[in-house]
Chains A and B, each alone.
Chain A
């Protein structure tokens, strides 16, 4: 059976979303197992009983990896959602509220983009006392500029379209125009931008946790799992880093695939760009 391009994209999207949902569900279910220590089985290499092996506290690495990934995905979703909403609001406000506001928002965009991402993220996270809140706020506050810039450009372009200008002439309020005319048009870009923010957010959450500025060490976050594994690479316990690292990459790739698929579905013309 030969599939056309649209079907292939749909299958890619479906498989990605299914896998990510499965990881989330498994992670939520394996919360207890991810934390449970049992010294009688510590440092077991991967085998049938423990597919990903166990660590120095005898914790099941499969459970820890799934829990860590689900934690990362949830943090990523939350942070990316906050970030994307921020970008949407600022993008629209910037394009519709006049020159002064536009200048201020553009300045903020340049400012945030001017500082290296990870550095700003670290500073915000540390200033907020690290932990879950620090990471989410940090990721949310550092990821909005590129999407905001995109949306701002889109709105400026839309403002010149005849139907918006007619609506203005008819005396519709700015709020009405934004809600009824701009938002529906921006939705595809917004959704695609949001989905493409996920992998970024997940990687950055893992990175700062890996560096010790994110989640607390007793939480089975993927960054913690990887940073703990580093100490044991030298003694040959390769499974501690390999599987969590591999799965993190797979999750990030799947989110990317999902985002790209969505873009192709919502904006078929983009395929030819």
Chain B
């Protein structure tokens, strides 16, 4: 009897579940929300970040803090320059800077009266020490353009370069100045700086607590205490649901959740996703295959570029929280809008037809025995990249191109991307990224660009010239010409060696009443950028 009763209850529950599912499609997923969490004090804020944002090597610029793969303002330390809201250059510690005519010497004057939080004055020799230290130790960022930094006097530092580097002010905006007298191998664990905040407590794997620097030389921070919690997106959502975080980072897949007491903040970014298309026929060197017989045809690359409906992809994968991407540097001052294209599937098919890629068996095109197919890799465990790869495969199938997706680890991804397209994420507040992706490197691999085989002398030349200009403004124009100068470049009418899909909005659940100050376009990395200006946040 009891067994029968239990069985009936189970059957009823299952049936109810099935019926509820059918009626609702995606269903009403409003969560039971609670606002029981303690509201933070009026000058404190709790922010969540991905676990990967926790700086493994500590808060040391030489090991990637601020000046790492994901650039951001270092908060604890001050920088010589800063990037403004429109990604131009402003000044922080520097009161003035100039560059010699040949571009080989940068001279920077430093603000007077700045003190580290241990009471010692910040001088030009600290600046010189910081940069020389970074050059010597940094494995994360490139400092090969710097020969040495020399303090000329208390307030003037000179950067002697190995080659002209007109975009040096962008490097100066991410390198936090460390105190020479208090720097040792443990600096990253107990950082001392002259920035807006002091690191008070670091519970590794859990949280970092910052407190406002009472002796800061600029405007006093409005937020006295900033707590950063490291957790994955699902835990961040749970933290927000429990009212334990004021700003919880989240993903597009969670963005349709509604929570009492919280609103969704979407920040525009240049955190782009795209994939490389190797531009040469396959060849092998040192056990690595470079090139891909299908994507070596420029017409194929052009057809793919206009055959992808970016907006549909953004709606599908990002629930609409993103913008179409056409370059690695959309909306940056050095971006060339000539790269923008309209989705045109018919034109894409025509390009392929004209190029001799005709439909073969199973609806897959082929030409001279080469099938119109490739493997599109994505980093294992990254659900957004996986979804983008899947959607790309679906869309390209309509063009008669067979795309197989494959999740790979970063240990093999770099080498394999030399022959198979890989979904990448880029986007930085420096034009150097354009250089890193498109400029050929004579001394590495097969003398082509670093991440995917491509080389074009004209493009290289524009970028070389851009690095040699006397002013940033002049360099912007040359960076734009490297993208498209009217006859050659890396855009649709040019070589199109990379396909850019979308810039992913950085999403946050923000507690009502918290005024998050206006954000710069965020670079790649859903981490520290949000707190670049946390000192200007306020509670209503």
Contact = CB atoms under 8 A, between A and B. Distances in A.
Interface of A: 37-39, 42-49, 51, 53, 56-57, 130, 212, 216-218, 228, 230-237, 239
Interface stretch (B20-28, B110-118, B216-224, B427-435): B20-28
Contact of A217 (B257, B317, B381): B381
A217 B254 contact: no
A237 B238 CA distance: 14
A46 B19 CA distance: 8
B328 interface: no
A48 B383 contact: no
A236 B31 contact: yes
A39 B380 CA distance: 20
B351 interface: no
Contact of A234 (B22, B238, B387): B238
Given A44-B25, A44-B26, A56 B18 contact: no
28 contacts: A37-B391, A39-B316, A39-B391, A43-B27, A45-B20, A45-B21, A45-B25, A46-B18, A46-B22, A47-B18, A47-B22, A48-B18, A49-B22, A51-B18, A53-B21, A56-B387, A57-B387, A57-B390, A217-B380, A217-B381, A218-B386, A218-B405, A218-B407, A230-B234, A231-B234, A231-B383, A234-B237, A236-B29
A230 to B, nearest CB: 7
B406 A216 contact: yes
A39 B405 CA distance: 16
Interface string B310-322: 0000001100000
A157 B238 CA distance: 60
Contacts of A49: 22
Interface residues of B, number: 35
B281 to A, nearest CB: 27
Contacts of B20: 45
A161 B56 CA distance: 65
Contacts of B232: 231
Given A46-B18, A216-B408, A228-B383, 20 more contacts: A42-B26, A44-B26, A47-B18, A48-B18, A49-B22, A212-B380, A212-B381, A216-B406, A218-B406, A230-B234, A231-B233, A231-B234, A231-B383, A232-B253, A234-B234, A234-B237, A234-B238, A234-B254, A235-B253, A236-B31
B405 to A, nearest CB: 5
A37 B253 contact: no
Contacts of A38: 394
Contacts of B391: 37, 39
Contacts of A234: 234, 237-238, 254
Contact of A235 (B22, B254, B406, B408): B254
B486 interface: no
Contact of B317 (A39, A216, A233): A39
A81 to B, nearest CB: 28
B369 interface: no
B394 A46 contact: no
Contacts of A51: 18
Interface centre among B21, B237, B408 (most CB of A within 10 A): B21
Contact of B21 (A46, A130, A217, A228): A46
Interface string B3-46: 00000000000000110111011110101000000000000000
A232 B408 CA distance: 22
Given A216-B406, A216-B407, A235-B253, A45 B386 contact: no
Contacts of B31: 235-236
Interface of B: 17-18, 20-22, 24-27, 29, 31, 232-234, 237-238, 253-254, 257, 316-317, 380-381, 383, 386-387, 390-391, 393-394, 405-409
B257 A235 contact: yes
A143 to B, nearest CB: 26
Contacts of A37: 387, 390-391, 393-394
In the A-B complex, list the 5 residue pairs whose CB atoms are closest, starting with the nearest: A45-B21, A47-B22, A217-B407, A39-B316, A46-B21
Contacts of A237: 29
B393 to A, nearest CB: 8
A38 to B, nearest CB: 8
A48 B22 contact: yes
A39 B25 CA distance: 13
A268 B280 CA distance: 69
Contacts of A233: 234
A39 B313 CA distance: 9
A68 B406 CA distance: 17
Nearest to B393: A37
Nearest to B238: A234
B441 to A, nearest CB: 28
A47 B21 CA distance: 5
Contact of B386 (A42, A217, A235): A217
A42 to B, nearest CB: 8
Contacts of A46: 17-18, 21-22
A130 B380 CA distance: 12
Contacts of B254: 234-235
Nearest to A54: B26
Given A47-B21, A56-B253, A216-B406, A235 B383 contact: no
B327 to A, nearest CB: 25
A86 to B, nearest CB: 29
Contacts of B233: 231
A51 B253 CA distance: 22
A229 B317 CA distance: 17
A235 B26 CA distance: 11
A230 B237 CA distance: 13
A213 to B, nearest CB: 11
Contacts of B21: 44-47, 53, 239
Contacts of A45: 17, 20-22, 24-27
A212 to B, nearest CB: 7
A228 B390 CA distance: 16
